[in-house]
A and B are shown apart, each in its own frame.
Chain A
């Protein structure tokens, strides 16, 4: 096989394909490494908040989307069995106090797939929320919100449209950015 032969003969098609594979497959994997494979985009962001009307965890009345309408508010899904929830617990209490003091936005919790007694014990141990929590015993509301990874927090604006969702323990940066989105000043 002389070099003259190979210079004259055109490169066969399969070689182009193989060459492309050598470049594209590692590239795809490299992109994959930068991504979180468990991330599911939210279907509820940009849409009207799923209506809810829940029994409260403690105290009288109801926790409902109707009662909260007209003002921006923050919905936090939590549970006593959720280990990551403990991380964000102090942040939530702080945020709840800000909501009560400033009055520009409201805050509400949803106790997701939990036992009432376990939830009350949890709050007693780690600190009561300065806001009400509704009971979503079977998790139907969570499914409506598309909850897949606990904890999750949703930011709803004054017109009742969900503007943002945060998966995982809430952080100060997430709060600051998302409150701005729903037009609330802390």
Chain B
């Protein structure tokens, strides 16, 4: 029965492939000939594909849950000893299954988009559905012919090869699903962008809908990236959450262009500007998500994240990528003239100007990361030399550009649309500027001399203070206008101005993340010692003593743990227990870090090798302000959801014109 279930799953996905081709053709015919029946048929295929692919995924997950090792993919990635939660989520632990996750999201979001927008955006729907069906088709062909997770083998193995121990961690449950949702989320804006280029009139009514999709995709992408950093920090054991690894860069690039897109579309929504920029940014963001998929699986670059290294698969993906690139950019090249409007940026001292600067800076950052990641490949192709571009390079060249973006983060919400005199802007920014000077003084007194560190501290302080000032001013203005008590005024201001306050809260979260990154990156301290039981060492004002070593064992592994007690000023505080584990089936050794997080920073201890006389080498890190990164993420997530709810609320009543610029608080 189980064998036939997996075969049914395979059949369902094959059927989805055929249907997606049908849907793409029907949608295009409907776009060209205007037959509504064809379009309805195409839309119904999107619904059907969601059901079919869901069934396929469930069949696969069921095979994992029931230890069906006749399915080759299950045999390669699971084991009877594997805890159930990892059996269920191992589906996306390797190449073929992760593609199924991507595909499932594609069908889910396509079905939702079709359901939500079919009646409200009739002009765009034919090309939207055609694009979504084509992307589905591309992935389906790849999966069925080149990366089939449904393959069975006879005779079935009695025991599986076990999931990679590094993946046997709660991170597997969250990081890929959230990250992929971020990637695929940009497919719907992409479909709308293609539609606007293919239609007889480019139109602007679709921008509101695409803003919501883009914000949703962006918050998922942000969360996915931060979850990946969190996972690396807790699991990998090198005291870091970001290594400028090619695959990490591949997720950062669409985030950078996606951030530019969010702000740029706001300008188009409010004032009709940047239409060509936006179409370009949408296509680029989606392309970058595909490039990320390509890089992880093709073996073009070495990476800790690399899945299957297979140039054959790489060739197909490159072909698919090229088709999307030619279609998207080609349409822009041919038809961007239809997009231009009569609206202009009226003054360099305006929000439009700040958003333009934001676009430029984020694109420069994305291009820098892109070129840096690909330079080794380029140099080798041209000269045969092997060059390497690693973390020190990226830190040096990307961070200054991002500091400019952080500065804009403080200025942007304060400056109104259309224009403002420089003097008025200066007076409005007096308080953040004062905070900047204060931060400068404090940093100098604390002994900071490196110019990049100083600039980073200044930028983040400025942005944080400016953001809080904006929030406070908004609340205070409402209070003055309505005479309400402070709590009620705050609540009302936020509820009625969800988009604005949501954005401000996101900005504050980014400032917190920036502070956390600067502190943990530039003020980290480490110490490596060999200890015998009874020895101690000092780290960040704590005294850490080795009390002993003991055996540690668990599901599928054996290991050794070091028992360490931490005290401060003579008072014992807590125990920490880093481990070294050995997973038998895969013959892999891993380390389990011991972390103690606090507001000021993390104490981070790694167990090294035993020294033979009952002792062990311990590497300890003091990582300041890392918890601010995760806290900042909460603000970013909360603010984004608040803003999204505001966008959804305004669906019924679009504004006729942007509200007047008023002193202190631009309407949005």
Contact = CB atoms under 8 A, between A and B. Distances in A.
Interface string A108-150: 0000000000000000000000000000000000000000000
B401 interface: no
Interface in A34-83: 34-35, 37-41
A28 interface: yes
A34 B380 CA distance: 11
Nearest to B313: A33
8 contacts: A5-B337, A26-B322, A28-B374, A30-B318, A31-B377, A33-B299, A35-B300, A38-B302
Contact of B300 (A5, A6, A18, A37): A37
Q: Which of A25, A33, A39 has the most CB of B within 10 A?
A: A33
A35 B381 CA distance: 8
A19 interface: yes
Given A32-B381, A37-B299, A26 B329 contact: no
Q: Shortest 10 CB-CB distances between A and B: which pairs?
A: A32-B300, A26-B322, A31-B381, A32-B377, A37-B302, A33-B311, A33-B314, A22-B329, A29-B318, A15-B333
A26 B318 contact: yes
Given A19-B333, A25-B325, A28-B374, A33 B381 contact: no
B300 A33 contact: yes
A33 B315 CA distance: 7
A28 B318 contact: no
B326 to A, nearest CB: 6
Give the interface SS of chain B, mostly helix, strand, loop or mixed.
Answer: helix
Given A31-B381, A32-B377, A33-B315, A22 B330 contact: yes
B434 interface: no
B660 interface: no
Interface string B376-418: 1110110011100000000000000000000000000000000
Nearest to A26: B322
B495 interface: no
A40 B329 contact: no
A22 B325 contact: yes
A1 B318 contact: no
A41 B386 contact: yes
A118 to B, nearest CB: 15
Interface of A: 1, 5-6, 15, 18-19, 21-22, 25-26, 28-35, 37-41
A11 to B, nearest CB: 9
B329 to A, nearest CB: 5
A28 B199 CA distance: 33
B298 A33 contact: yes
Contacts of B337: 1, 5-6
Nearest to A39: B386
Contacts of A30: 315, 318
A34 B384 CA distance: 13
Given A15-B333, A29-B294, A37-B300, 17 more contacts: A5-B337, A15-B336, A22-B325, A25-B325, A26-B325, A28-B377, A28-B381, A30-B318, A32-B298, A32-B301, A33-B298, A33-B299, A35-B377, A35-B381, A37-B377, A38-B302, A39-B386
Contacts of A6: 337
B479 interface: no
Contacts, number: 64
B321 interface: yes
Contacts of A15: 333, 336
Contacts of A29: 294, 298, 300, 318, 321
Contacts of A33: 298-300, 311, 314-315, 318
A112 to B, nearest CB: 19
A21 B384 CA distance: 22
Interface in B299-324: 299-302, 311, 314-315, 318, 321-322
Given A22-B325, A22-B330, A28-B374, A34 B311 contact: yes
B463 interface: no
B299 A18 contact: no
A41 B386 CA distance: 7
A39 B376 CA distance: 12
Nearest to B302: A37
B384 A41 contact: yes
A168 B386 CA distance: 19
B301 A37 contact: yes
Contacts of A38: 302
B332 interface: yes
Nearest to B322: A26
Contact of A18 (B314, B321, B329, B374): B329
A1 B294 CA distance: 38
A39 B386 CA distance: 8
Nearest to A11: B333
B326 A22 contact: yes
Contact of B338 (A1, A21, A32, A39): A1
A26 B321 contact: yes
A163 to B, nearest CB: 18
Contacts of B338: 1
Contacts of B384: 41
B332 A18 contact: yes
A37 B298 CA distance: 11
Nearest to B381: A31
Nearest to A38: B302
Contacts of B302: 37-38
B456 to A, nearest CB: 31
Contacts of A35: 300, 377, 380-381
Contacts of A26: 318, 321-322, 325
Nearest to B321: A26
B192 to A, nearest CB: 20
Given A39-B386, A40-B386, A41-B386, A28 B378 contact: yes
Nearest to A16: B333
Contacts of A25: 325
A101 to B, nearest CB: 38
Nearest to B338: A1
A23 to B, nearest CB: 9
Nearest to A1: B337
A21 to B, nearest CB: 7
Contacts of A32: 298, 300-301, 377, 381
Contacts of A28: 374, 377-378, 381
B289 to A, nearest CB: 15
Contacts of B294: 29
Contacts of A19: 329, 333
A141 B300 CA distance: 30
Nearest to B317: A29
A63 to B, nearest CB: 28
A21 B332 CA distance: 13
Nearest to B314: A33
Contacts of A34: 311
A37 B299 CA distance: 7
Contacts of B374: 28
Q: Which of B294, B301, B326, B380 has the most CB of A within 10 A?
A: B380
Contacts of B386: 39-41
Contacts of B380: 35
Contacts of B311: 33-34
